[in-house]
Amino acid sequence: MEEDIGSGDITTENLVPLNLTGKGRIVAKQPLVLAGLDMARKVFEELDPQILFTSAFLDGQEIETGQVVLEVSGNLRALLMGERTALNILQRLSGIATQTRSFVNLLKDKPVKLVDTRKTAPGWRVLEKYAVRVGGAFNHRMGLYDGVLIKDNHIAVCGGVRKAIENIRQKIHHLIKIEVEVSDFDELQEALDAKADVIMLDNMNIEQIRAAVAIINNRAIVEVSGGVTRDNLLLLADTGVDIISSGALTHSAVSVDLSMRIESN
Amino acid sequence: MEEDIGSGDITTENLVPLNLTGKGRIVAKQPLVLAGLDMARKVFEELDPQILFTSAFLDGQEIETGQVVLEVSGNLRALLMGERTALNILQRLSGIATQTRSFVNLLKDKPVKLVDTRKTAPGWRVLEKYAVRVGGAFNHRMGLYDGVLIKDNHIAVCGGVRKAIENIRQKIHHLIKIEVEVSDFDELQEALDAKADVIMLDNMNIEQIRAAVAIINNRAIVEVSGGVTRDNLLLLADTGVDIISSGALTHSAVSVDLSMRIESN
Amino acid sequence: MEEDIGSGDITTENLVPLNLTGKGRIVAKQPLVLAGLDMARKVFEELDPQILFTSAFLDGQEIETGQVVLEVSGNLRALLMGERTALNILQRLSGIATQTRSFVNLLKDKPVKLVDTRKTAPGWRVLEKYAVRVGGAFNHRMGLYDGVLIKDNHIAVCGGVRKAIENIRQKIHHLIKIEVEVSDFDELQEALDAKADVIMLDNMNIEQIRAAVAIINNRAIVEVSGGVTRDNLLLLADTGVDIISSGALTHSAVSVDLSMRIESN
Amino acid sequence: MEEDIGSGDITTENLVPLNLTGKGRIVAKQPLVLAGLDMARKVFEELDPQILFTSAFLDGQEIETGQVVLEVSGNLRALLMGERTALNILQRLSGIATQTRSFVNLLKDKPVKLVDTRKTAPGWRVLEKYAVRVGGAFNHRMGLYDGVLIKDNHIAVCGGVRKAIENIRQKIHHLIKIEVEVSDFDELQEALDAKADVIMLDNMNIEQIRAAVAIINNRAIVEVSGGVTRDNLLLLADTGVDIISSGALTHSAVSVDLSMRIESN
Amino acid sequence: MEEDIGSGDITTENLVPLNLTGKGRIVAKQPLVLAGLDMARKVFEELDPQILFTSAFLDGQEIETGQVVLEVSGNLRALLMGERTALNILQRLSGIATQTRSFVNLLKDKPVKLVDTRKTAPGWRVLEKYAVRVGGAFNHRMGLYDGVLIKDNHIAVCGGVRKAIENIRQKIHHLIKIEVEVSDFDELQEALDAKADVIMLDNMNIEQIRAAVAIINNRAIVEVSGGVTRDNLLLLADTGVDIISSGALTHSAVSVDLSMRIESN
Amino acid sequence: MEEDIGSGDITTENLVPLNLTGKGRIVAKQPLVLAGLDMARKVFEELDPQILFTSAFLDGQEIETGQVVLEVSGNLRALLMGERTALNILQRLSGIATQTRSFVNLLKDKPVKLVDTRKTAPGWRVLEKYAVRVGGAFNHRMGLYDGVLIKDNHIAVCGGVRKAIENIRQKIHHLIKIEVEVSDFDELQEALDAKADVIMLDNMNIEQIRAAVAIINNRAIVEVSGGVTRDNLLLLADTGVDIISSGALTHSAVSVDLSMRIESN
């Protein structure tokens, strides 16, 4: 909020007396999956600790055009100064949840997990990954610190998939699984031999993915990543992979349309 | 970067020796308008102050699919740990610049300014507004602190457009202009009488906007806002308004596609 | 307060039991215009959230020698540890408000605005400018970010007053006015031709100022700055300028004399 | 500097190309004792780490009207954006040093130490006390944490001067001296009996001070405080006290007049 | 370092000229395993960026009484002001590494991993766990965020071991393993049925642990925790468990004895 | 707590519903002197401002094995997430208090003060010194800022003990005493001549200390430091020194054993 208010809201602070109170109502202008109620509440509470914030919904619920998402009553200045920030947060998080839900619905009944990636707006990692869960998908690791994902560069430095896996198994703690990205069937075999916990199939076509799944044969969790779209989602799901990861869940989500009406008491 | 690396990149720190160096190359996978070079450089410099960062381009230039956007050489761990954050920043800012440029091109030769709004991702205000400028459009006020925009709630509290304008003119410093949002022709007349510097026409149709422009007759700068799309942009421009503001420039931009290739030396 | 208390108030914490309460009274030892009540309250509240803070006055009121400015009751340690910081703030801000009021009174009924400058103690900008308003004068821009003021160096770099004005008009947002500092009548003419919003007359004598006002003839707001004193204030006001800016309002104000009496219950 | 530049210097960043360099010169417009060179240098270095900063003077030297206090060469934007903050710091600190020197000169050859108090602008404690030393006077304790000063409230809570002193001697570490404020001769006697290290005579007239000094007879350091002015300074010195403390050194100092000339290369 | 230096090292800053340089040598006064070289270097570098810091050793090496651990040359004030903080860090981290090494040596050739716990001094987690690795043992999870450890309270809330495991498997990302603490053989069986990745045997005696290892039969990793001492370490290792975790590695380590000699040049 | 919880407690947040409440009890598993109640309370209050925290004890009281140190009731997640941090703090501070008390008890009735040093875990200075006081010993200076201690390097730079003392007496404020470390009887004599307030005998044997005490003959406070152990404590006390300082009070204290039982309501 700091970046928006800076040295003060010169319109509101000069025109609205300090002690006026009012009521605001945020309304959906499109169908959406709600995410971010709690963060929106905190915006207003920081401006007025006595604010009254209520909603008939919970994060994750589907809301129709025209429904009242939430109501806030309290200091009028706080309502006017928090409006834009609260809307920006709700619109973005609900945008991610709404898009995620539409992907998840496509996969209904398929035994596959849709997960996000680290392609999030810097500073928004925790919130965007929360919105993905609200939308019904799952998270991949939160950052570089809570999961091992061995990529081509790590493999090259270590001199092969097997060496990389054996090497890191000596070092990480025993609650972390090891995932390795493989780009061909030789690497895949090495990964299986070294007992990787998770294998990511990188840039394989549907045919190759299907073959890889057969070779792996439940000896590791199988993830595909890269180039996931609405269109190939079902195709990918039907290859038998366990996990589909998609950066689009976060980086290509568009804000939903919400508006706020404020009235002074 | 803190949110991504946290207590450490457990894959890279365990597999890549501290003293290895390498080279990375970020490549465009779609046509785009570049924005964020400097911020990407800072990501790598923070991880390795000796990093060598070069680019054949400047922010604002158009880049074709396949062109190398930038190169970095230095500590290999720094390249691997900064990759995702640098890409996330470049993809988002270039996404905004690219979309903005496409809007700006539509308005070529029209005597109207396209400007952004405060609908930016919290924490990203300064960077997103920078990307809008890089794309060729202009900024509206940076926040609540550097411009007066009197909206319906302020008007209601003050008892009318005229009173709100006269009231605030007594209080703000003399380098700030006064903009007022009007929703009908009575309010418009009041705004003109009170010598508002800028008048925002709120929720008027093309017909009404045209009439308003005629009434204002250059006595104030005229802005329209709300519901601006690719489709009605030219129509709005042809009404004779001075400024079109669009939240979509920032809140509906989608990240562009970039990839990074890293090699150890 | 951190700088005063540091690792602890070794006198009070060692001598005053944690649970004692008391009452404090701040008294004026000279006539003054009060400023800083709210900040003083926050000092005590941070040390004891349950503190009771009352005052018969509001910021901006004139207080006579001997009057009780405010009373605080609560934890005795909090009173003793906050005393100096609260007094330092009140004395400084009231000092500015008091001096400002005396300048403002000199200008009573003159159609001219007295404004401050950016000559404030680093870290105190917002508070000192607040005290200026409390004293009855007005603010100039808050910082470099919320107003354009083109000075000689900017003019030199751009190759002239006109070019500088035209140049920046293309770049700033439409709620910011353009002020330019002119040092002779040629520059003045250029500024008028380029439609500067505000013209600052730099280092002109009374004669020249009067002439400049006549030339400008309401086509721009006129500001004089530099060397403003109690003595030449009326002379400057009578030249017909719109705005007199004075760094002395803040940088030459002297703290007022206040004392605090504390009693334990 | 943050408070001055905020989201950017909109004049300079829009008019002055990023790569221009220049030179600035700060000139004294009144005789002064210099203080703050190092802090001024840091302002410019933060804006441009390559800045060249030189001065023919050291803090504490006396400078005549018209002399060049310092020169800076480097990035022109950095010069323009740092100018005001650097001046504000130098003017304030040199103001304190200059006034302090004038007090110190009055006391030349008197065997008495002039010291400051905790009456400093919040946030400026360390810098203002530095300026006092530069001016030739001494510091009292830095804050509540590095010296014991027992005041009337502490005495009241403890049930007398003697009890307060004995009490705290059990608790503080052995490198801290104990000062106690006494308001009459009974308290003075108690303080001597309890072997206070320093005795502050509170609100005594010249006569009484002289009598107190005689009674104390070098058994403790003697300090007078309160109401110290240019006029009574010598009178106080001649009473034989060891230390005169004066809040006016900091809270009543007025900024000195400096100006900065900048030229682009 | 802030807490040690605060408003300044009043001895050194008043007695040692700013431009003197010197050399310091840290010497071992007992046999030890070195840990913390890099952190010690940073202490001195922060006080003097030009400091020269050299050591003939690396973290993890064993050092004899009397050997020179490291040398620093540079600004004398920096050496004197950084001495205590650098020593405090080195003594504590080397203390942990030294004790850890002695435990690890006891387990030589045993197929069991010794790991630490979360019983670290608040604020020191990352550094203390680093010292454990330097000493030759391994880390358990870094915090609550990078590993699942289901304890009795979680089990009670969920209504059983099996439900807790199944429940959390739906929610965590696929690179995190699930560990569960079991206190009897029924819970052990549930954990195996629910395919826990790691099973922690809580408060079992040697007999019971041996039986549990037999039942688990490599279907999960087996950890014992609690009450680990020098004396029962081998006994525990010989039960066949995979992991022994010990809070004593960090919370019961005692600082090693180091001294620093400084000479001015 | 940040370092422990990071991006979230993934076990508790996924298994324990947000609105469950519970009760926790911390129990002593060894005899101990309690220290840190208030800090433990703050840990839980930060996670749940409504937490109920009660204890039958105060810091400084001796607690037997099996006694309930404190109880907390409130949000169950808060109890589970704060448990480890609260225990780590209590165990460490009580460890210091317990060891300190055992040293203090040895000195019962001896006219000597046992004090700590600056050998504290970085970041823990204020808390560890608090625990020392709770244990019944005293503090030496808090840091480099609140006491002068002239060591061999300062003496060397100044050209002798006497010069160092005279030099610094001119500069420090009058509430700070001067301590000087002397290593032989020549330096001791110089220190006495220069009227040092406190003399630290460095590396002298019992014989020499006794002789030094006789020479000093109450003209200064006498401190011994270095190599203080349980075994030589009484010997040192009987030399007649005023102060024994011991780094072992903090750097060699071992955490006490506490456990926490939590139940959901």
DSSP F38-104: HHHHHHHHHH-TT-EEE-S--TT-EE-TT-EEEEEEEEHHHHHHHHHHHHHHHHHHHHHHHHHHHHH
Query: What is the C-alpha separation between D148 and D167, in angstroms, rounded?
Result: 12
Q: Which residues of B touch D8 (CB under 8 A)?
A: 126
Residues 6+ apart with CB under 8 A from B4: A118, A122, A125, A143, A144, B84, B85
Q: Where are the domains of chain A?
A: 2-100+254-264, 105-251
Q: Is the pLDDT of residue A182 over 90?
A: yes
Q: Is the pLDDT of residue B155 over 90?
A: yes
Strands (DSSP E) contained in E147-189 are 148-150, 178-182
> Is F16 in Cβ contact with E157 (below 8 Å)?
yes
Exposed e or buried b for every residue in B125-140, given b needs 16+ CB within 10 A? bebbbbbbbbbbbbbb
Q: How close A9 gets to chain C, by Cα (Å)?
A: 12
Report the neighbours of C using a cutoff of 3 or more CB pairs below 8 angstroms. A, B, D, E, F
Q: Which residues of D touch C120 (CB under 8 A)?
A: 88
Query: What is the C-alpha separation between A110 and A115, in angstroms, rounded?
Result: 14
Query: What is the C-alpha separation between E79 and A78, in angstroms, rounded?
Result: 52
Q: What SS3 state is found at D63?
A: strand
Q: Is the pLDDT of residue A1 over 80?
A: no
Q: What SS3 state is found at A99?
A: helix
Q: Do domains C2-100+254-264 and C105-251 have the same CATH topology?
A: no
Question: Which amino acid does the sequence have at B146?
Answer: D
Q: What SS3 state is found at D199?
A: strand
Using 50, 70 and 90 to split pLDDT, how confident is the model at C109? confident
Query: What is the C-alpha separation between B244 and B253, in angstroms, rounded?
Result: 17
Q: What SS3 state is found at B203?
A: coil
Q: What is the largest CA-CA distance in chain A?
A: 72
Size of interface C-E (CB pairs under 8 A): 5
Q: Which residues of E touch B7 (CB under 8 A)?
A: 126, 142-143, 146
Q: Is A227 left (phi over 0), alpha (psi -120 to 50) or beta?
A: left
Element (H, E) at C200: strand C198-202
Q: How close F173 gets to chain E, by Cα (Å)?
A: 10
Kindly report the average pLDDT of chain B as a whole number: 95
Q: Which residues of C touch A7 (CB under 8 A)?
A: 126, 142-143, 146
> Is A7 in Cβ contact with D7 (below 8 Å)?
no
pLDDT tens, C16-56?
999 999 999 999 999 999 999 999 999 999 999 999 999 99
pLDDT tens, E34-80?
999 999 999 999 999 999 999 999 999 999 999 999 999 999 999 99
Look up D119 and say whether it is catalytic.
yes
For residue F22, the cross-strand partners are F74, F264
| C131/D contact by beta carbon, under 8 A | no
pLDDT tens, B111-128?
999 999 999 999 999 999
- If chain D, 265 residues long, is cut into consecutive pieces of 10 residues, what is the mean pLDDT of each piece? 89 93 97 97 95 97 98 97 96 97 94 96 95 97 96 93 95 96 96 97 94 97 91 94 96 93 91
Span B37-46, average pLDDT = 96
Find the residue in F nearest to D220 (Cα): F174
Whether the CA torsion B155, B161, B166, B170 is positive or negative: it is positive
Q: Is the pLDDT of residue E126 over 80?
A: yes
Pick from A123, D42, D70: nearest CA to B128: A123
| Per annotation, catalytic residue among D23, D42, D84, D210 | D84
Percent of chain C at pLDDT exceeding 70: 100
Using 50, 70 and 90 to split pLDDT, how confident is the model at B265? confident
Structural contact between residues D156 and C19, judged by C-beta atoms closer than 8 angstroms: no
pLDDT at D265: 87
| F157/C contact by beta carbon, under 8 A | no
Structural contact between residues D117 and D246, judged by C-beta atoms closer than 8 angstroms: yes
Pick from F103, F79, F88, F76: nearest CA to F17: F76
CA angle (D252 as vertex; D250, D257 as ends), nearest 5: 90
Q: How many Cα neighbours within 13 Å face the side chain of E189?
A: 2
pLDDT tens, C188-244?
999 999 999 999 998 899 999 999 999 999 999 999 997 888 899 999 999 999 999
pLDDT at E227: 83
> Is A255 in Cβ contact with B153 (below 8 Å)?
no
Q: Which fold has domain D105-251?
A: TIM Barrel (3.20.20)
Q: How many Cα neighbours within 13 Å face the side chain of F29?
A: 13
Q: Is the pLDDT of residue C89 over 90?
A: yes
Question: Which amino acid does the sequence have at A16?
Answer: V
Where are the alpha helices (H) located in chain F, listed in sequence order? Answer: 2-5, 10-15, 37-47, 76-106, 125-135, 152-158, 161-169, 185-193, 206-216, 233-237, 248-251
Find the residue in D nearest to B127 (Cα): D7
Q: Is the pLDDT of residue C255 over 80?
A: yes
Report the neighbours of E using a cutoff of 3 or more CB pairs below 8 angstroms. A, B, C, D, F
Residues 6+ apart with CB under 8 A from D55: D37, D69, D70, D71
Residue D110 CA from chain centroid, whole number: 20
| C168/B contact by beta carbon, under 8 A | no
Whether the CA torsion C33, C36, C38, C41 is positive or negative: it is negative
Pick from A217, A265, A233, A253: nearest CA to A35: A253
Find the residue in C nearest to F126 (Cα): C7
Write down the residue that tokens 């003159």 correspond to. Answer: C110
Using 70 as the pLDDT threshold, list the residues of chain F that sit under it.
none
Find the residue in D nearest to B141 (Cα): D7
How many angstroms separate the Cα of D104 from the Cα of each of B74, B154, D131? Answer: 58, 57, 13
Pick from D45, D24, D100: nearest CA to D254: D100
pLDDT tens, B64-82?
999 999 999 999 999 999 9
In CATH, what class is D2-100+254-264?
alpha beta
Query: What is the C-alpha separation between C84 and C132, in angstroms, rounded?
Result: 23
Using 50, 70 and 90 to split pLDDT, how confident is the model at A103? very high
What is the pTM for the complete model shown? 0.91
Element (H, E) at E53: strand E52-54
pLDDT tens, A8-53?
999 999 999 999 999 999 999 999 999 999 999 999 999 999 999 9
